[in-house]
Protein backbone atom coordinates (compact mmCIF):
# COMPACT_ATOMS: atom_id res chain seq x y z
CA UNK A 1 0.00 0.00 0.00
CA UNK A 2 1.10 3.56 -0.77
CA UNK A 3 -0.28 6.11 1.67
CA UNK A 4 -0.39 9.70 0.39
CA UNK A 5 -3.09 11.05 2.72
CA UNK A 6 -0.91 12.25 5.58
CA UNK A 7 -2.73 15.58 6.00
CA UNK A 8 -5.65 13.44 7.18
CA UNK A 9 -3.63 11.42 9.67
CA UNK A 10 -0.16 9.94 9.95
CA UNK A 11 1.30 6.59 10.89
CA UNK A 12 2.50 6.73 14.52
CA UNK A 13 6.28 6.61 14.80
CA UNK A 14 8.04 3.85 16.74
CA UNK A 15 8.91 6.10 19.71
CA UNK A 16 5.32 7.33 20.00
CA UNK A 17 3.98 3.78 20.02
CA UNK A 18 6.58 2.72 22.58
CA UNK A 19 5.66 5.53 24.98
CA UNK A 20 1.95 4.94 24.37
CA UNK A 21 2.23 1.26 25.25
CA UNK A 22 4.36 1.96 28.31
CA UNK A 23 1.83 4.37 29.78
CA UNK A 24 -1.17 2.26 28.84
CA UNK A 25 0.23 -0.78 30.64
CA UNK A 26 2.99 -0.38 33.25
CA UNK A 27 2.49 3.34 34.00
CA UNK A 28 -1.29 3.63 33.69
CA UNK A 29 -1.73 5.72 36.87
CA UNK A 30 -4.03 8.73 37.18
CA UNK A 31 -1.88 11.88 36.95
CA UNK A 32 -4.12 13.63 39.49
CA UNK A 33 -3.39 11.03 42.18
CA UNK A 34 -1.31 12.11 45.19
CA UNK A 35 0.85 9.00 45.44
CA UNK A 36 4.29 8.76 43.86
CA UNK A 37 3.25 7.07 40.61
CA UNK A 38 0.56 9.67 39.92
CA UNK A 39 2.93 12.53 40.69
CA UNK A 40 5.54 11.04 38.34
CA UNK A 41 2.95 10.93 35.53
CA UNK A 42 1.99 14.56 36.23
CA UNK A 43 5.68 15.48 35.96
CA UNK A 44 5.90 13.67 32.62
CA UNK A 45 2.91 15.66 31.35
CA UNK A 46 4.66 18.88 32.36
CA UNK A 47 7.83 17.72 30.61
CA UNK A 48 5.84 17.28 27.41
CA UNK A 49 4.50 20.81 27.77
CA UNK A 50 8.05 22.11 28.11
CA UNK A 51 9.05 20.24 24.94
CA UNK A 52 6.11 21.79 23.07
CA UNK A 53 7.03 25.34 24.07
CA UNK A 54 10.69 24.70 23.26
CA UNK A 55 9.70 23.45 19.80
CA UNK A 56 7.55 26.56 19.29
CA UNK A 57 10.41 28.75 20.47
CA UNK A 58 8.42 30.34 23.30
CA UNK A 59 8.85 30.52 27.06
CA UNK A 60 7.27 27.84 29.23
CA UNK A 61 5.01 29.37 31.88
CA UNK A 62 2.42 26.64 32.56
CA UNK A 63 0.81 27.73 29.30
CA UNK A 64 0.03 24.52 27.39
CA UNK A 65 -3.41 22.93 27.78
CA UNK A 66 -3.91 19.36 26.58
CA UNK A 67 -7.24 18.55 24.93
CA UNK A 68 -8.86 15.56 23.26
CA UNK A 69 -8.21 16.93 19.76
CA UNK A 70 -7.15 20.00 17.80
CA UNK A 71 -10.85 20.59 17.12
CA UNK A 72 -11.42 20.91 20.86
CA UNK A 73 -8.35 23.13 21.23
CA UNK A 74 -9.65 25.45 18.50
CA UNK A 75 -13.04 25.61 20.21
CA UNK A 76 -11.39 26.35 23.54
CA UNK A 77 -9.31 29.15 22.02
CA UNK A 78 -12.36 30.76 20.40
CA UNK A 79 -15.31 30.09 22.70
CA UNK A 80 -13.11 30.23 25.78
CA UNK A 81 -11.76 33.71 25.07
CA UNK A 82 -14.64 35.55 23.39
CA UNK A 83 -16.65 37.82 25.70
CA UNK A 84 -20.23 39.04 25.31
CA UNK A 85 -19.07 42.62 24.78
CA UNK A 86 -16.72 41.80 21.89
CA UNK A 87 -17.59 44.04 18.94
CA UNK A 88 -15.85 42.46 15.95
CA UNK A 89 -14.46 38.97 15.27
CA UNK A 90 -12.25 38.22 12.25
CA UNK A 91 -11.70 34.80 10.63
CA UNK A 92 -10.31 33.77 7.25
CA UNK A 93 -12.46 32.03 4.67
CA UNK A 94 -9.86 29.26 4.53
CA UNK A 95 -10.19 27.97 8.09
CA UNK A 96 -10.57 24.32 9.07
CA UNK A 97 -14.22 23.38 9.82
CA UNK A 98 -13.51 23.38 13.56
CA UNK A 99 -12.79 27.12 13.31
CA UNK A 100 -15.01 28.09 10.38
CA UNK A 101 -18.14 26.44 11.74
CA UNK A 102 -17.49 27.90 15.19
CA UNK A 103 -17.33 31.32 13.54
CA UNK A 104 -20.65 30.69 11.79
CA UNK A 105 -22.19 29.65 15.10
CA UNK A 106 -20.99 32.89 16.71
CA UNK A 107 -22.44 34.86 13.81
CA UNK A 108 -25.77 33.10 14.26
CA UNK A 109 -25.68 34.09 17.94
CA UNK A 110 -25.46 37.75 16.99
CA UNK A 111 -21.74 38.49 17.02
CA UNK A 112 -20.29 40.73 14.33
CA UNK A 113 -18.21 38.19 12.40
CA UNK A 114 -16.29 39.07 9.23
CA UNK A 115 -14.41 36.69 6.94
CA UNK A 116 -11.15 37.55 5.16
CA UNK A 117 -10.89 36.56 1.51
CA UNK A 118 -8.26 34.22 0.09
CA UNK A 119 -6.01 34.95 -2.86
CA UNK A 120 -6.05 32.70 -5.91
CA UNK A 121 -3.11 30.86 -4.33
CA UNK A 122 -5.02 30.14 -1.13
CA UNK A 123 -3.29 32.56 1.23
CA UNK A 124 -5.10 35.16 3.29
CA UNK A 125 -5.61 38.33 1.22
CA UNK A 126 -3.44 40.77 3.17
CA UNK A 127 -5.16 43.87 1.76
CA UNK A 128 -8.60 42.53 2.66
CA UNK A 129 -7.26 41.66 6.12
CA UNK A 130 -5.96 45.20 6.56
CA UNK A 131 -9.21 46.75 5.30
CA UNK A 132 -11.47 44.70 7.56
CA UNK A 133 -9.51 45.30 10.73
CA UNK A 134 -10.57 48.25 12.86
CA UNK A 135 -9.83 49.61 16.30
CA UNK A 136 -12.84 47.74 17.71
CA UNK A 137 -11.66 44.31 16.47
CA UNK A 138 -11.40 42.04 19.52
CA UNK A 139 -10.54 38.60 18.12
CA UNK A 140 -8.73 37.23 15.05
CA UNK A 141 -8.21 33.62 13.94
CA UNK A 142 -5.99 32.89 10.94
CA UNK A 143 -4.58 29.41 10.30
CA UNK A 144 -0.85 28.95 9.75
CA UNK A 145 -0.91 26.30 6.97
CA UNK A 146 -4.06 25.39 5.07
CA UNK A 147 -5.05 21.75 5.38
CA UNK A 148 -6.56 21.59 1.87
CA UNK A 149 -3.91 23.29 -0.25
CA UNK A 150 -0.91 23.70 2.04
CA UNK A 151 -0.98 27.49 1.56
CA UNK A 152 1.28 29.16 4.16
CA UNK A 153 0.09 32.37 5.76
CA UNK A 154 2.70 34.89 6.85
CA UNK A 155 1.67 35.21 10.50
CA UNK A 156 4.45 37.69 11.29
CA UNK A 157 3.18 40.09 8.63
CA UNK A 158 -0.43 39.70 9.78
CA UNK A 159 0.57 40.31 13.40
CA UNK A 160 2.47 43.44 12.37
CA UNK A 161 -0.65 44.82 10.66
CA UNK A 162 -2.87 43.81 13.58
CA UNK A 163 -0.60 45.54 16.10
CA UNK A 164 -0.89 48.84 14.21
CA UNK A 165 -4.69 48.78 13.95
CA UNK A 166 -5.98 46.80 16.95
CA UNK A 167 -3.06 45.98 19.24
CA UNK A 168 -5.26 44.58 22.00
CA UNK A 169 -7.11 42.10 19.79
CA UNK A 170 -6.61 38.42 20.64
CA UNK A 171 -4.82 36.51 17.85
CA UNK A 172 -5.32 32.74 17.47
CA UNK A 173 -3.81 30.47 14.84
CA UNK A 174 -4.58 26.88 13.96
CA UNK A 175 -1.07 25.46 13.55
CA UNK A 176 -1.98 21.82 13.02
CA UNK A 177 -0.43 21.51 9.55
CA UNK A 178 2.61 23.64 10.46
CA UNK A 179 3.83 22.29 13.80
CA UNK A 180 6.54 19.68 13.32
CA UNK A 181 6.49 20.10 9.54
CA UNK A 182 7.88 23.54 8.72
CA UNK A 183 10.56 25.32 10.74
CA UNK A 184 9.42 28.49 12.50
CA UNK A 185 9.60 30.38 15.76
CA UNK A 186 6.16 31.36 16.99
CA UNK A 187 5.59 35.11 16.97
CA UNK A 188 5.60 36.37 20.55
CA UNK A 189 2.37 38.33 19.95
CA UNK A 190 0.31 35.24 19.11
CA UNK A 191 -2.06 34.57 22.00
CA UNK A 192 -3.22 31.04 21.15
CA UNK A 193 -1.78 28.35 18.88
CA UNK A 194 -3.34 24.93 18.22
CA UNK A 195 -1.41 21.71 17.55
CA UNK A 196 -2.26 18.03 17.11
CA UNK A 197 -0.48 14.73 17.81
CA UNK A 198 -1.81 12.54 15.01
CA UNK A 199 -0.64 14.90 12.26
CA UNK A 200 3.02 14.42 13.27
CA UNK A 201 3.16 10.63 13.77
CA UNK A 202 1.59 10.63 17.22
CA UNK A 203 -1.67 9.05 18.45
CA UNK A 204 -5.19 10.24 17.70
CA UNK A 205 -7.22 11.78 20.49
CA UNK A 206 -4.62 14.30 21.69
CA UNK A 207 -4.42 17.99 20.88
CA UNK A 208 -2.94 20.96 22.67
CA UNK A 209 -3.45 24.69 22.90
CA UNK A 210 -0.53 26.99 23.60
CA UNK A 211 -1.80 30.02 25.51
CA UNK A 212 0.51 32.99 25.93
CA UNK A 213 -1.67 34.06 28.85
CA UNK A 214 -4.09 31.38 30.00
CA UNK A 215 -5.89 33.95 32.18
CA UNK A 216 -7.56 35.15 28.97
CA UNK A 217 -9.36 31.80 28.77
CA UNK A 218 -12.53 30.47 30.38
CA UNK A 219 -13.29 26.73 30.36
CA UNK A 220 -15.81 25.27 27.93
CA UNK A 221 -15.72 21.84 29.65
CA UNK A 222 -16.39 21.66 33.38
CA UNK A 223 -15.49 18.97 35.87
CA UNK A 224 -12.64 18.13 38.21
CA UNK A 225 -10.44 21.08 37.34
CA UNK A 226 -7.60 19.40 35.46
CA UNK A 227 -5.38 21.44 33.11
CA UNK A 228 -5.52 24.61 35.21
CA UNK A 229 -9.32 24.25 35.45
CA UNK A 230 -9.48 24.96 31.70
CA UNK A 231 -9.99 21.41 30.41
CA UNK A 232 -11.47 19.09 33.01
CA UNK A 233 -11.28 15.33 32.58
CA UNK A 234 -8.80 12.67 33.62
CA UNK A 235 -5.53 13.34 31.80
CA UNK A 236 -4.82 11.08 28.83
CA UNK A 237 -1.32 10.29 30.07
CA UNK A 238 -0.62 7.58 27.49
CA UNK A 239 -1.78 9.77 24.60
CA UNK A 240 0.23 12.74 25.86
CA UNK A 241 3.33 10.55 26.17
CA UNK A 242 2.71 9.33 22.63
CA UNK A 243 2.56 12.99 21.60
CA UNK A 244 5.87 13.54 23.43
CA UNK A 245 7.48 10.69 21.50
CA UNK A 246 6.28 12.15 18.20
CA UNK A 247 7.70 15.60 19.04
CA UNK A 248 11.03 14.11 20.11
CA UNK A 249 11.12 12.29 16.76
CA UNK A 250 10.41 15.37 14.59
CA UNK A 251 12.69 15.48 11.57
CA UNK A 252 12.64 18.43 9.16
CA UNK A 253 13.99 16.40 6.27
CA UNK A 254 13.69 17.24 2.58
CA UNK A 255 12.04 14.03 1.35
CA UNK A 256 8.54 15.56 1.21
CA UNK A 257 9.80 18.48 -0.90
CA UNK A 258 11.57 16.09 -3.28
CA UNK A 259 8.51 13.86 -3.61
CA UNK A 260 6.22 16.82 -4.24
CA UNK A 261 8.54 18.29 -6.87
CA UNK A 262 8.93 14.94 -8.62
CA UNK A 263 5.16 14.49 -8.88
CA UNK A 264 4.58 18.03 -10.18
CA UNK A 265 7.40 17.70 -12.75
CA UNK A 266 6.08 14.38 -14.09
CA UNK A 267 2.33 14.97 -14.05
CA UNK A 268 0.16 15.16 -17.14
CA UNK A 269 0.15 18.87 -17.97
CA UNK A 270 -3.66 18.92 -17.87
CA UNK A 271 -3.33 18.77 -14.09
CA UNK A 272 -3.08 22.18 -12.45
CA UNK A 273 -1.49 22.82 -9.07
CA UNK A 274 -3.70 24.79 -6.68
CA UNK A 275 -1.49 27.29 -4.85
CA UNK A 276 2.12 28.47 -5.04
CA UNK A 277 3.62 29.21 -1.60
CA UNK A 278 2.62 25.90 -0.07
CA UNK A 279 3.81 23.36 2.46
CA UNK A 280 6.09 20.63 1.07
CA UNK A 281 3.72 18.12 2.67
CA UNK A 282 0.52 19.00 0.77
CA UNK A 283 -0.26 19.03 -2.95
CA UNK A 284 -3.68 20.08 -4.24
CA UNK A 285 -4.39 19.25 -7.89
CA UNK A 286 -7.25 19.79 -10.32
CA UNK A 287 -8.04 18.18 -13.67
CA UNK A 288 -10.92 19.72 -15.57
CA UNK A 289 -13.37 17.28 -17.11
CA UNK A 290 -12.92 14.37 -14.69
CA UNK A 291 -14.38 13.51 -11.31
CA UNK A 292 -11.81 13.64 -8.52
CA UNK A 293 -13.75 11.20 -6.35
CA UNK A 294 -13.71 8.61 -9.14
CA UNK A 295 -9.96 9.10 -9.51
CA UNK A 296 -9.48 8.59 -5.76
CA UNK A 297 -11.33 5.27 -5.94
CA UNK A 298 -9.45 4.11 -9.03
CA UNK A 299 -6.17 4.69 -7.19
CA UNK A 300 -7.60 2.92 -4.15
CA UNK A 301 -8.12 -0.17 -6.32
CA UNK A 302 -4.34 -0.15 -6.81
CA UNK A 303 -3.70 0.22 -3.03
CA UNK A 304 -2.82 3.90 -3.41
CA UNK A 305 -4.58 6.09 -0.86
CA UNK A 306 -5.10 9.81 -1.53
CA UNK A 307 -8.08 12.08 -0.82
CA UNK A 308 -10.43 14.67 -2.23
CA UNK A 309 -9.43 17.01 0.60
CA UNK A 310 -10.00 17.38 4.31
CA UNK A 311 -11.40 14.25 5.96
CA UNK A 312 -13.39 16.61 8.20
CA UNK A 313 -15.29 17.73 5.09
CA UNK A 314 -15.15 14.46 3.18
CA UNK A 315 -18.90 13.79 3.10
CA UNK A 316 -19.79 17.25 1.76
CA UNK A 317 -20.30 18.14 -1.89
CA UNK A 318 -17.74 20.53 -3.39
CA UNK A 319 -14.75 22.14 -1.72
CA UNK A 320 -15.22 25.40 0.17
CA UNK A 321 -11.53 26.34 0.14
CA UNK A 322 -11.00 25.84 -3.59
CA UNK A 323 -14.23 27.68 -4.34
CA UNK A 324 -13.27 30.78 -2.35
CA UNK A 325 -9.87 30.70 -4.09
CA UNK A 326 -11.82 31.30 -7.30
CA UNK A 327 -11.64 27.87 -8.96
CA UNK A 328 -14.49 27.11 -11.32
CA UNK A 329 -16.90 24.22 -10.74
CA UNK A 330 -15.12 21.86 -13.16
CA UNK A 331 -11.79 22.40 -11.40
CA UNK A 332 -13.36 21.81 -7.99
CA UNK A 333 -15.07 18.61 -9.15
CA UNK A 334 -11.78 17.43 -10.65
CA UNK A 335 -9.72 18.17 -7.55
CA UNK A 336 -7.67 15.76 -5.42
CA UNK A 337 -5.20 16.13 -2.55
CA UNK A 338 -1.94 14.26 -2.04
CA UNK A 339 -0.09 14.68 1.26
CA UNK A 340 3.25 13.26 2.30
CA UNK A 341 5.28 12.21 5.31
CA UNK A 342 8.88 11.30 6.05
CA UNK A 343 7.98 7.65 5.48
CA UNK A 344 7.15 8.21 1.79
CA UNK A 345 9.73 7.60 -0.94
CA UNK A 346 10.54 8.68 -4.49
CA UNK A 347 9.88 5.11 -5.64
CA UNK A 348 6.34 5.44 -4.31
CA UNK A 349 5.99 8.80 -6.05
CA UNK A 350 6.99 7.22 -9.38
CA UNK A 351 4.21 4.64 -9.06
CA UNK A 352 1.65 7.23 -7.98
CA UNK A 353 2.37 9.70 -10.76
CA UNK A 354 2.27 6.91 -13.37
CA UNK A 355 -1.15 5.77 -12.12
CA UNK A 356 -2.44 9.33 -11.79
CA UNK A 357 -1.61 10.03 -15.42
CA UNK A 358 -3.01 6.71 -16.63
CA UNK A 359 -6.31 6.94 -14.76
CA UNK A 360 -6.84 10.65 -15.45
CA UNK A 361 -6.38 10.07 -19.18
CA UNK A 362 -8.77 7.15 -19.07
CA UNK A 363 -11.44 9.25 -17.30
CA UNK A 364 -10.92 12.22 -19.65
CA UNK A 365 -11.50 9.97 -22.69
CA UNK A 366 -14.69 8.31 -21.45
Mean pLDDT score, 99-106: 98
Please, which pLDDT band fits residue 314 given cuts at 50, 70 and 90? Answer: very low
Instruction: Report pLDDT for 254.
Output: 83
Q: Is position 48 annotated as part of the catalytic site?
A: no
Q: Which of 130, 61, 121 is nearest to 94 (CA)?
A: 121
Please, which pLDDT band fits residue 125 given cuts at 50, 70 and 90? Answer: very high
* pTM for this prediction: 0.96
Could you tell me what percent of the chain has a pLDDT over 90?
95
> Using CA atoms, how far apart are residues 171 and 343, in angstroms rounded to an integer?
34
> Using CA atoms, how far apart are residues 347 and 332, in angstroms rounded to an integer?
29
Q: Is the pLDDT of residue 149 over 60?
A: yes
- Catalytic option among 13, 48, 166, 312: 312
Domains of the chain: 14-248 (3.40.640.10), 253-364 (3.90.1150.10)
Max CA-CA distance within the chain? Answer: 69
Instruction: Report pLDDT for 315.
Output: 45
C-alpha distances in angstroms, 316 versus 183, 254, 312, 333? 33, 33, 9, 12
The torsion angles phi and psi of 319, rounded to 5 degrees, stand at -145, 110
Mean pLDDT score, 255-261: 96
Instruction: Report pLDDT for 310.
Output: 63
Length of the chain: 366
Q: Which of 63, 75, 102, 88 is nearest to 169 (CA)?
A: 88
The torsion angles phi and psi of 258, rounded to 5 degrees, stand at -65, -40
Instruction: Report pLDDT for 311.
Output: 60
C-alpha distances in angstroms, 361 versus 193, 265, 289? 42, 17, 10
Report whether 67 contacts 239 (CB < 8 A): no
Q: Is the pLDDT of residue 180 over 50?
A: yes
3-state SS, the chain, equals CEECECCCCCCCCHHHHHHHHHHHCCCCCCCCCCCHHHHHHHHHHHHHHHHHHHHHCCCCCCCEEEECCHHHHHHHHHHCCCCCCCCEEEEECCCCHHHHHHHHHHHHCCCCEEEECECCCCCECHHHHHHHCCCCEEEEECCCECCCCCEECCHHHHHHHHHHHCCCCEEEEECCCCCCCCCCCCCCCCCEEEEECCCCCCCCCCEEEEECCHHHCCCCCCCCCHHHHCCCCCCCHHHHHHHHHHHHCCCCCCHHHHHHHHHHHHCCCCEEECCCCECCCEEEEEECCCCHHHHHHHHHCCCEECECCCHHHCCCCCCHHHHHCCCCHHHHHCEEEEECCCCCCHHHHHHHHHHHHHHHHHHHCC
Q: Count how many Cα atoms sit within 13 Å of the Cα of residue 302 in the half-sphere of its side chain.
A: 17
> Using CA atoms, how far apart are residues 287 and 332, in angstroms rounded to an integer?
9
Q: Is the pLDDT of residue 110 over 60?
A: yes
Could you tell me what percent of the chain has a pLDDT over 70?
98
Report whether 69 contacts 266 (CB < 8 A): no
Distance of CA 258 to the CA centre of its chain: 22
Mean pLDDT score, 44-66: 97
Instruction: Report pLDDT for 312.
Output: 57
| Segment 196-233, tens digit of pLDDT | 999 999 999 999 999 999 999 999 999 999 999 999 99
Q: Is the pLDDT of residue 273 over 90?
A: yes
Amino acid sequence: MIYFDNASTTKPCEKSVRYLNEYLTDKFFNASSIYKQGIENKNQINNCKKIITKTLGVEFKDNVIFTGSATEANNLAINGSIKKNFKKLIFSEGEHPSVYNTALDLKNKGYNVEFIKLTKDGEVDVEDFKNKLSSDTNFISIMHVNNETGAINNLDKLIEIKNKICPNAIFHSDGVQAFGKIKFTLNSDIDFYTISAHKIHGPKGVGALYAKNKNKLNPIIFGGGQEYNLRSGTENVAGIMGFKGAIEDISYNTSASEIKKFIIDNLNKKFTVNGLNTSPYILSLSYKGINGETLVHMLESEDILISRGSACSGSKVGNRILTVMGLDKESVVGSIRLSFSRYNTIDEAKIVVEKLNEFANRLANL
